[in-house]
Structure 1
Amino acid sequence: MSKAIQRAEEARKVTAGAAKPYPFWLGGLAASFAGTVTHPLDLTKVRLQTGEDKRMVQSFRRTVNNFGIRGLYDGLTGTLLRQMTYSLMRFAAYDYFKSQLHDGPGPAPIWKLAAAGSCAGGLAGMVGNPAELIMVRMQADRGKPPAERYNYRNAIQGLYRMAQQEGVASWYRGLVPNGVRSVLMNASQLGSYDWFKHRILDLKVFEDGPIVHFLSSLGAGTVATTVCSPADVIKSRIMNAHDQTGLLKVIRDSVAKEGPGVFFKGWLPAWIRLQPNTILIFLTLEQLKRGVDKYRHAGGTWL
């Protein structure tokens, strides 16, 4: 076979590999890895939002002093369940909606990216709400007085106990604020990541690689933290409540006691948590996609 024919065949394989969708579970796998690494920061953020601690370092130290280093991983099973439901769905749905909204040449405009992210976020928020709720309860548990703790052994047992004691409908407590947050998160994080990536590549300073992915993630994490902070605070307070406190009552009571700034309470730990989480997710996801591409180009057919 001549070199020209070989090059044509390689180009055909690359094009075919790029056109074929990636496995739907890649996003969940990347998010699970990132969530495990950043879990202590997420736990601290939730305890700041739902407890009496005022500063991130204070909350971090209290957890370590009272429960040791292992205490920083309270609720890890809830985090992993959340990533393999909510995150798996949002990445898979985002790719689908993006392909449906834009099939022309060149990158999609920002409004289409935001729309795809919003649709994916709404769907993922519904699918992942039970795991989100159990994760918040498990993370916040040791920050509360012993008499008020849920003491779930793991996420599955926690969901089972909730169904027994509070009914299956309890799995969808906080669905509205969580759904709003999910829409905002995915529109701002997924959409802005693609937007930043296209803009950076347009500068022709860096090739598509880890540097571009890192810078794009940095921008996406900052945008997402700011946009999602109010909904995130409300969601955590509703999900952590023992009674059937409604959305409007939580907002009214929070503003009355702590002022409008309450909606950005925990912004710094949220940003510190979301930035490495966002960076790890997208760096891992991009590498997983490249691994799939190499596998396909080598003739693999399972992925």
Structure 2
Amino acid sequence: MVGTFGHIMKHNGVTGLYSGLSAALLRQITYSTTRFGIYEELKSRITKNSDNPAAAPGLLTLIGMASVSGFIGGFAGNPADVMNVRMQSDAALPPHQRRNYRHAFHGIVQMTRTEGFSSLFRGVWPNSTRAVLMTASQLASYDTFKKLCIDKAGMKDNLSTHFTASFMAGFVATTVCSPVDVIKTRIMSASHAEGQGQSMVNLLRDICRKEGLSWTFRGWVPSFIRLGPHTIATFIFLEEHKKLYRRLKGI
């Protein structure tokens, strides 16, 4: 991680650290909005149709809802995710190998022209698998940890509880998704020629043969540094947003 950071700073300066910002924002708009929206809607419907509306859905029910939400969100956010991976990896490449996308929409247009529309969904299966794992481990674990904090630890439904539950959810999500993140990044960053004929199974076999099992948690620390604060900020914002919505609606 330190070597990559130094290489980017040396050749691109501070701006290189923000390569792919537009793609990252587009990804959150498409991917995160879809999965959070579907998850909350499913949870609301199941709670309303339950014999005991006051009771929270069980862990298996939460995992099921989160998995469906994540799968749909993975498809919705895949084009932006491809751009995000490519634009971020550009900063670490020599100048003659860079794609030089100006922003996410420019990259989508260029990629569609040169590699076809289907290229926008390159890596969609590992990405959707990762989205299922991410949403299940992040959203379902957050609701579970929050319930444990309130019911077992005697904490109140406040900011400290939301912070604690979201921190633990970020830890779980990073650990569960680490192997899939490695595979997804390698597939999406590959060029058209490199990606042809390389299935996810073949890629997995090649990685295991060359690198052993250590690849599964390669990059865990930078992933947690990114995902931990992101998870905490996301759930704290979501809780405050729901609180404001209920106050405005008189719920």
TM-score when scaled to structure 1?
A: 0.77
Q: Please name the residue that 2:2 is paired with.
A: 57
User: What does the per-residue CA deviation read over 1:190-224, in whole Å, with 9 as the maximum and x for residues that have no partner?
Assistant: 00000000110113632211100000001101111
CA distance in 2, matches of 1:69, 1:142: 11
- State the superposition RMSD in angstroms: 1.6
1:1-303 counterparts in 2 under 5 A?
56-102=1-47, 103=50, 104=52, 105-203=54-152, 205-242=154-191, 243-244=194-195, 245-297=198-250
User: What does the per-residue CA deviation read over 1:145-179, in whole Å, with 9 as the maximum and x for residues that have no partner?
Assistant: 22322110000010001110011111110011001
User: What does the per-residue CA deviation read over 1:85-140, in whole Å, with 9 as the maximum and x for residues that have no partner?
Assistant: 00000000111222344433311111111111100001101111111111111111
CA distance in 2, matches of 1:146, 1:66: 9
CA distance in 1, matches of 2:46, 2:159: 27
CA distance in 2, matches of 1:78, 1:176: 20
Q: For structure 1, which runs of at least 5 residues remain unmatched after alignment?
A: 1-55, 299-303
Paired residues in the alignment total 243
Q: Is 1:137–1:239's contact at 8 Å kept on the other side of the alignment? A: yes
Distance 1:92 1:144, change over 3 A: same
Identity across the alignment (%): 43
CA distance in 1, matches of 2:44, 2:244: 22
CA distance in 2, matches of 1:250, 1:278: 29
User: What does the per-residue CA deviation read over 1:52-108, in whole Å, with 9 as the maximum and x for residues that have no partner?
Assistant: xxxx22222322232222211110000000000000000001112223444333111
Q: Is 1:220–1:278's contact at 8 Å kept on the other side of the alignment? A: yes
One-letter identity of the residue aligned with 1:187: A
Q: Is 1:101–1:116's contact at 8 Å kept on the other side of the alignment? A: no
CA distance in 1, matches of 2:239, 2:158: 9
Query: More relative contact order in 1 or in 2 (CA 8 Å, sep 6+)?
Result: 1
* Structure showing greater Rg: 1
User: What does the per-residue CA deviation read over 1:216-269, in whole Å, with 9 as the maximum and x for residues that have no partner?
Assistant: 001101111111111111000000001223212221221222111112110111
One-letter identity of the residue aligned with 1:65: K
One-letter identity of the residue aligned with 2:26: L
SS of residue paired to 1:160? helix
Q: Is 1:101–1:112's contact at 8 Å kept on the other side of the alignment? A: no
Q: For structure 2, which runs of at least 5 residues remain unmatched after alignment?
A: none
